[in-house]
Amino acid sequence: MFSAKHVFTRKDFFQFLDLEIRRAQRYQNFFSVMKLELPRKRTTAANNQLKTLKALVKLLREEIRETDVIGQTNKSEIMILLPYCDSSGADVVNRRLSSLVEDFHFGEEGLQVKFGLISFPVQANDMAEILYRLNERPQDAAVSGAH
C-alpha cells in the first residue's frame, strides 16, 4: 500500500467504517460505501499499478467531500466511505465518479474500473453484510468504464 495524503490503510479504513456503523445505528443516520476495483493484470508491473492507484486517488480526492474517507483495502481496490450519503446521493456520486474515470487518461493502456455501491441501512446493516454485498454482488451497482 502507498502512503498518500488522506488515504488510509485497510485496517484504519475498517476502523472508520466500524465507527460509522455504530454512529449510524445509534443516531439513525445513513451512509454509503463505494468500492473501486482495478483489474488485476499479471502483465501490469506493480509500479504501474501503484502509479495508476495514485492517479485514481488524486482524481477522487479532488471530487469528493473532505469528510469522505478513502482507504486502500488491497493492492487493486479502493473504498470510499460517504457519511450522511443516502442511496440516491450515492447514486449521483457513483455516476459522477464513473464518468470522470471514463474520461481520465491513466496511461497508455486502457483501464477498466468496476464500481460497487452499498447504502446503510437500506441495503446492508452491518460490516459483514456491507463487505459481502460489495464483493459478491458487484453487478447490482457496478459500472465498467474502459478508455
- Show Cβ contacts of residue 55 under 8 Å, excluding neighbours closer than 6 positions: 104, 106
- pLDDT of 138 > 70? The answer is no
Average pLDDT over residues 90-95: 94
Residue 2 is assigned to a structural domain of this protein: no
- Please state, in angstroms and rounded to a whole number, the distance separating the CA atoms of residues 134 and 12: 18
pTM of structure: 0.84
Q: What is the CA 13 to chain-centroid distance, rounded?
A: 11
Name the residue range of residue 78's domain: 7-145
Average pLDDT over residues 105-129: 84
Residue 1 is assigned to a structural domain of this protein: no
Residue 125 is assigned to a structural domain of this protein: yes
- Which CATH number covers residue 60? 3.30.70.270
- Predicted local confidence at residue 119, as pLDDT: 96
